[in-house]
């Protein structure tokens, strides 16, 4: 794993001009991507794509990777470095009514994660870290008949989780507490297998640090929201991560989370319209000598987009007390359309680096656990369509 991490690290650094930008901000019509002179054939391939081809490529990552690899051969190496085993199909039968109140996609995630975790666990108890209402803990308590301690900050979630667990007669105990408080150390004991489903940024890091410090026999963590950290830059955990020259800002920690817009034709159309309007308005505002920065505009109800670009500009001006420096709405709407197309094309290239960046973060956390004496497996636990944050780090103490 160390070797894979180091290779991935070098490739990400060597190719940072391909992922280190925000397509939205870089979409102005007179700029070219920083990699343009290094890779003019990639640039002309992108320019010649139609918007429909861009959409098709965005829905088919494998096809996109195959196409872009022709211009960027290192992508092929990256694909090998980030390959991880896939989850098994979940095979947990729940009694009737057991899943009441658990949203459908959440149920799929917790069944899949439970399956992966139960296959590995020998521990006597579970610690469910940042449990929410304890959906995962509920299934683990039921399937393993072992005690679950669920730590959660929000009192209302603890209360409703406890009520549900008691109703089902499960050996679950909720503890209301702050993962960052010193007293949280009291919820740990050496018989626990800790599980964390989608504990954000610093929250999952905190578990890895306390859990390894307390020599928990096992930990299973599905990280998410890498950017929700207190420090302004990513703070690597492993020795290899600390040696790396790859410094990620909070904004860059969001890159792996910027997912494809799925949803039907209507959702896609609204997105295209909204982004076109925002980019067109941005160009209009910047056409005034007094403004050369992006002015954030509040979110808007999608149904209002049908009022058209001019209406959108007037609405935004009212919201933010802005002066509109032009009346030529048609011209700026056209500019918005062109910028949208450019943004979509540039995003294709960044898309190919999202998973590699995420795997860099995952390997860093996994190597940290190895350094602490754990045997570590990394796999997916569910399909990406169920949750894009589908990577599971499973660690068990070897000594
Ligand atoms: C994304 S949710 C995941 C919940 C649950 N594991 C699940 O997948 O359904 C993150 C949870 O962490 C809890 N949380 C946030 N900050 C916390 C803190 N400082 N200490 C404990 N829990 C916290 C939130 O209240 C929330 O329930």
Residue of 199, 221, 382 to mutate, ligand 1, most atoms within 8 A of C-beta: 199
Residue 18, by phi and psi: left (phi above 0), alpha (psi -120 to 50) or beta? alpha
At residue 330, the 3 state secondary structure works out as helix
Q: By percentage, how much of the chain surpasses pLDDT 70? A: 98
In this structure, what DSSP letter does residue 85 have? P
In this structure, what DSSP letter does residue 323 have? -
Residue boundaries of the structural domains of the chain: 104-256+363-397
State the pLDDT at residue 399.
67
- In a 13 Å sphere around the CA of 82, the CA atoms on its Cβ side amount to 22
Average pLDDT, whole number, for the chain? 92
**Residues with a CB atom less than 6 Å from ligand 1:** 130-132, 135, 151-154, 157, 178-180, 197-200, 203
For ligand 1, atom 15, the nearest C-alpha belongs to: 153
d(CA 196, CA 130): 7
**Cα(160) to centroid(ligand 1), Å:** 14
The 10s digit of each residue's pLDDT in 196-238 is: 999 999 999 999 999 999 999 999 999 999 999 999 999 999 9
**Cα(205) to centroid(ligand 1), Å:** 13
**Cα(199) to centroid(ligand 1), Å:** 6
Residues ≥6 apart with Cβ < 8 Å to 233 = 247, 248, 249, 250
At residue 324, the 3 state secondary structure works out as coil
CA of 225, closest atom in ligand 1 = 1
Residues ≥6 apart with Cβ < 8 Å to 369 = 208, 212, 219, 376, 393, 395
Mean pLDDT, residues 79-105 taken together: 85
State the pLDDT at residue 123.
86
| Burial (CB count within 10 angstroms: exposed 0-12, middle 13-18, buried 19+), residue 93 | exposed
State the pLDDT at residue 353.
95
Q: Which CATH number fits domain 104-256+363-397: 3.40.50.150, 3.40.605.10, 3.30.70.20, 3.30.70.260?
A: 3.40.50.150
State the pLDDT at residue 101.
80
The 10s digit of each residue's pLDDT in 317-376 is: 999 999 999 899 999 999 999 999 999 999 999 999 999 999 999 999 999 999 999 999
For ligand 1, atom 16, the nearest C-alpha belongs to: 153
d(CA 201, CA 229): 5
pLDDT at 261 over 60: no
CA of 110, closest atom in ligand 1 = 8
Residue of 104, 117, 153, 392 to mutate, ligand 1, most atoms within 8 A of C-beta: 153
């Amino acid at each position: 794993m160390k070797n894979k991490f180091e290779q991935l690290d070098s490739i990400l650094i060597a190719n940072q001009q391909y992922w280190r930008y925000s397509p939205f901000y870089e979409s102005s019509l007179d700029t070219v991507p920083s990699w343009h002179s290094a890779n003019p054939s990639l640039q002309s391939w992108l320019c010649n794509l139609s918007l429909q081809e861009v959409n098709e490529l965005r829905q088919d990552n494998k096809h996109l990777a195959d196409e872009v690899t022709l211009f960027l051969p290192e992508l092929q190496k990256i694909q090998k470095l980030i390959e991880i085993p896939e989850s098994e199909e979940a095979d947990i039968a729940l009694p009737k009514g057991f899943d009441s109140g658990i949203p459908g996609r959440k149920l799929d995630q917790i069944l899949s994660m439970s399956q992966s975790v139960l296959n590995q666990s020998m521990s006597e108890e579970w610690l469910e870290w940042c449990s929410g209402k304890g959906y995962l803990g509920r299934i683990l308590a039921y399937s393993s008949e072992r005690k679950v301690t669920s730590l959660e900050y929000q009192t209302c979630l603890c209360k409703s989780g406890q009520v549900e667990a008691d109703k089902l007669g499960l050996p679950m105990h909720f503890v209301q507490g702050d993962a960052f408080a010193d007293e949280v150390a009291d919820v740990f004991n050496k018989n626990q297998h800790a599980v964390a489903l989608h504990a954000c940024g610093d929250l999952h890091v905190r578990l890895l640090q306390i859990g390894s410090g307390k020599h928990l026999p096992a930990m299973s963590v599905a990280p998410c929201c890498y950017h929700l950290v207190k420090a302004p830059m990513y703070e690597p955990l492993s020795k290899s991560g600390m040696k790396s020259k790859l410094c990620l800002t909070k904004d860059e920690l969001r890159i792996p989370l910027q997912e494809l817009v799925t949803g039907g034709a209507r959702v896609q159309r609204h997105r295209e319209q909204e982004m076109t309007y925002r980019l067109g308005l941005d160009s209009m505002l910047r056409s005034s000598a007094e403004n050369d920065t992006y002015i954030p505009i509040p979110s808007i109800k999608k149904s209002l987009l049908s009022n058209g670009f001019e209406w959108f500009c007037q609405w935004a001006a009212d919201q933010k007390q802005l002066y509109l420096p032009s009346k030529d709405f048609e011209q700026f709407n056209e500019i918005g359309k062109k910028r949208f197309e450019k943004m979509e094309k540039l995003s294709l290239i960044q898309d190919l680096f999202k998973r590699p960046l995420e795997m860099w973060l995952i390997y860093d956390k996994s190597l940290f656990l190895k350094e602490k004496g754990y045997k570590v497996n990394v796999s997916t636990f569910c399909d990406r369509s169920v949750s894009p944050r589908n990577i599971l780090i499973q660690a068990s103490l070897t000594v």
